[in-house]
Amino acid sequence: MNGPARTADATSFGAYVRERREARRAADRSYSVRQVAARLGIEPSYLSKVERGQVPPPSEDTVVRLAEVLGEDADVLLALAGKVSTDLKDVIRRRPRLFADLIRELRDLPDRAVLRLVREVRDGDW
């Protein structure tokens, strides 16, 4: 049974979104809770509660739209929401043995090693 320790940190997700939205707002008054909510197609009161961590982070779709509106990286925002993009999960699901092994192998390696791998794959002829 999964305990509550596994739930996403609603507070840090919300705080981050609020901070980013407020930053945008300083330059563009249209980044109010109400108008951003309207762009996302959700209720203002709901976005308000999300930003204050009063409710858990929204669904994947909503988080992705939020990232677009705020000009943030969707994968990072999803991570803060305790989620992983469906298209990444699909990659693993299609070849579970291969990708499960690889990811577990890389789990404890430092950023620079993983980064080196990314570049190697991108530049080499694989």
Partner DNA sequence: ACGATCGTGTACTATGTCGTACACGATACA
Partner DNA sequence: TGTATCGTGTACGACATAGTACACGATCGT
Query: Which residues in this chain contact DNA in the complex, by CB under 7 A?
Result: 2-3, 5, 7, 29-30, 32-35, 41-46, 48-49, 51-52, 54-56, 58-62
Terminal Cα-to-Cα distance of the chain (whole angstroms): 41
Burial class (CB in 10 A: 0-12, 13-18, 19+), 101: exposed
Q: Which two three-digit tokens encode residue 30? A: 């249209």
SS3 category, 124: coil
Select from a copy of itself, DNA, none the partner in contact with residue 68, using the beta carbon and a kind-dependent cut-off of 5 to 8 Å.
none
Is 107 one of the binding residues for a copy of itself (CB under 8 A)?
Answer: yes
Would you tell me which residues interact with a copy of itself (CB under 8 A)?
Answer: 1-2, 6, 61, 73, 75-76, 78-79, 82-89, 91-107, 109, 111, 113-115, 117-118, 121-122, 126
